[in-house]
Amino acid sequence: MNERIKLTDSTRSAIVKLCEGNPGALSVCLEIITNDARIDPQALLHGIGPLLMLDSLGIYGPRIWMLYKDVCGQDLVKTLAVLRSWQLGHTSKQKIDHAILSRGDGLDVDAVLLAVQETLPEFGQELEEEEVAIVCLVP
């Protein structure tokens, strides 16, 4: 795959490259930058790490929004769990792509979250009682 994000990119330019002008994708990427360290405290590259994963998976523009909304039920913790699951080798790119194209079919995101939490016990724990809601920029 030909990644778009380069080492010379700022966070802003990386988000612009990922979002392709899609307001939903922009909302998701901004929330990732804001909340990733709290959701995934064991991550090495807080905020930018999940953006790099989206890039490596070839998930851009409206597909970012579809992953968040249609696959993960507008749950940022589950969205980040899907990305971490791929990084950990638990979920394939093909399975994620299929889920995005088919509105979540074939990917049990609750099971994905549990599998990630078995590997990374601190994942999503700080937010158990607190909801992470994205302010939707699209009607």
* Complete DSSP assignment for 81-114: HHHHHHHTTSS-HHHHHHHHHTTTTT--HHHHHH
Distances (CA, A) of 88 to 66, 78, 82, 115: 22, 15, 10, 10
Between 109 and 133, whose confidence is greater?
Answer: 109
Write the pLDDT tens digit of every residue in 70-115: 999 999 999 999 999 999 999 999 999 999 999 999 999 999 999 9
On whether the CB atoms of residues 134 and 68 are closer than 8 A, the answer is yes
Does position 132 have pLDDT exceeding 90, yes or no? no
Q: What is the pTM of this model?
A: 0.89
What band does 1 get if pLDDT is binned at 50, 70 and 90? low
Q: What is the mean pLDDT of residues 15-26?
A: 97
Per-chain mean pLDDT for the chain: 91
Q: In the predicted model, is pLDDT for residue 133 greater than 90?
A: no
- Confidence tier at 129 by pLDDT (50, 70, 90): very low
User: What angle is formed at CA 76 by the lines to CA 70 and CA 60, rounded to 5 degrees?
Assistant: 60
Cβ atoms within 10 A of the Cβ of 107, count?
Answer: 21
Rounded-to-integer distance, Cα 77 and Cα 64, Å: 14
Residue with tokens 């509105």, as numbered in its chain: 103
Report the distance separating Cα 92 and Cα 86, nearest Å. Answer: 6
